[in-house]
Amino acid sequence: MNYRRSVNPILHKHSYGSEFAIEQLPDGCEETSMGWLFGATRQWRGPDGLHVREYGGRLLAHYDRVDPRRNLVGHWIADAPFELALGSSGVVGMLASVTVSAASTLAWIVAALVTTVSASVFARTRF
């Protein structure tokens, strides 16, 4: 699904999550430490869900469906389901391991993964 962005004339039509190169940092971007660097040296968040990372002087950007500065859980569900699934499964697994048997722990971890992936699929169709 493509959306036209009017943030800056540098930016054109791009689908959510797909990366694209930009020549300069658009107005309204602020440097942030929120988010994975994935080898980048710096990163910025801008208007309309814009997320820019710098790799050796080259700027790569993508649009997030949900801005994590405003709704972190929504961002995890819509834009970072792997991190949400991993984190929630780990928390559920730790809690279950001290309260129930090994078989039940595994069942809780699987349930957490299925629930997280289902929520992400629903969020991606909705947003």
Each residue's pLDDT tens digit in the chain (127 positions)? 333 344 444 444 677 767 899 999 989 999 988 777 788 899 999 988 899 999 999 999 999 988 888 998 888 888 887 777 777 777 888 888 888 888 888 888 888 888 877 877 776 666 5
Per-residue pLDDT at 123: 67
Rounded CA-CA distance 45/26 in Å is: 10
> What does the block give as tokens for 98?
């001290």
Phi and psi dihedrals of 53, rounded to 5?
-120, 145
Phi and psi dihedrals of 65, rounded to 5?
-70, -40
Contact between residue 109 and residue 92 where contact means Cβ atoms under 8 Å apart: yes
